Amino acid sequence: MRTVIVTGATGNLGQAIIRKFLAEGCAVIGTVTKKKPTVFDDQPGFEACAVDLTNEEEVASTMTTILRKYQTIDAAILTAGGFAMGKIEDSDSNAVRQQYQLNFETAYIIARFIFQQMMKQKTGRIFFTGSRPGSDMRFGKGMTGYALSKSLLFRLAELMNEEAKGTNVVTSVIIPSTIDTPQNRSSMPDADFSKWVTPESIADIVYAHCDPSFDALREPLIKIYNKA
């Protein structure tokens, strides 16, 4: 049985990914910010883990507990994060720092421990959740802190893939266009929802990239745009 970690287990994307991997018979550890019920608590193979992803000591302790129980980590899909609008003139250093914590620190701290374990195993898959504004600043106008914080995930993936050369440890960046969620529909009611990408389709693509048939793929940037 493969062991998978999913951060942001209560979010729309996190839930879709957990649902997919559970359906495929994987053991899934989902991180939540506070110990509270999740929709998966009664499902075999799922374990909720309350941890502050910006607290390095707390994450280290959590990872020790996870590895003591599961021994290996086959895949990690890091969906935790947040969004905020803000032009440069409206984004002081505190606003940028908040987005940095939400989108970069929550990924970097746990990814570092997961990467160390996968390097010992010499195999594993890590997926960061990037964004179009993070991949190209032309799409980041009016989203200063968000775009800058997401851009760092691409650079981190490059560094990790460079260090992992010669192993079967691969770090990918998912780059979705607008995700079809109730929240996005509410905030953009006049949009053409058919052009958006569903959380379920992202989950299917992520799972497919964990298949051994993708072992030859290196340094992937997975653009999931649908009709955008």
Confidence at residue 36, expressed as pLDDT on a 0 to 100 scale: 72
Answer yes or no: is 184 within a domain: no
Answer yes or no: is 169 within a domain: yes
- Tell me which residue range forms the domain holding 40: 3-173+198-219
State the total domains in the chain: 1
Neighbouring residues of 130: CB distance < 8 A, sequence distance ≥ 6: 150, 153, 154, 173, 174, 175, 221
pLDDT tens-digit series, residues 84-110 = 999 999 999 999 999 999 999 999 999
- pTM for the model stands at 0.96
Answer yes or no: is 210 within a domain: yes
Could you tell me if 175 and 132 are in contact, meaning their C-beta atoms sit under 8 angstroms apart? Answer: yes
Neighbouring residues of 101: CB distance < 8 A, sequence distance ≥ 6: 54
Mean pLDDT by 10 residues, the chain (228 residues): 95 97 97 84 93 96 96 97 94 96 97 98 97 92 96 98 97 95 91 93 97 92 90
Confidence at residue 1, expressed as pLDDT on a 0 to 100 scale: 81
Answer yes or no: is 101 within a domain: yes
Residue 154 sits in a domain whose CATH number is: 3.40.50.720
Answer yes or no: is 59 within a domain: yes
Answer yes or no: is 131 within a domain: yes
Answer yes or no: is 16 within a domain: yes
Answer yes or no: is 41 within a domain: yes
pLDDT tens-digit series, residues 95-151 = 999 999 999 999 999 999 999 999 999 999 999 999 999 999 999 999 999 999 999
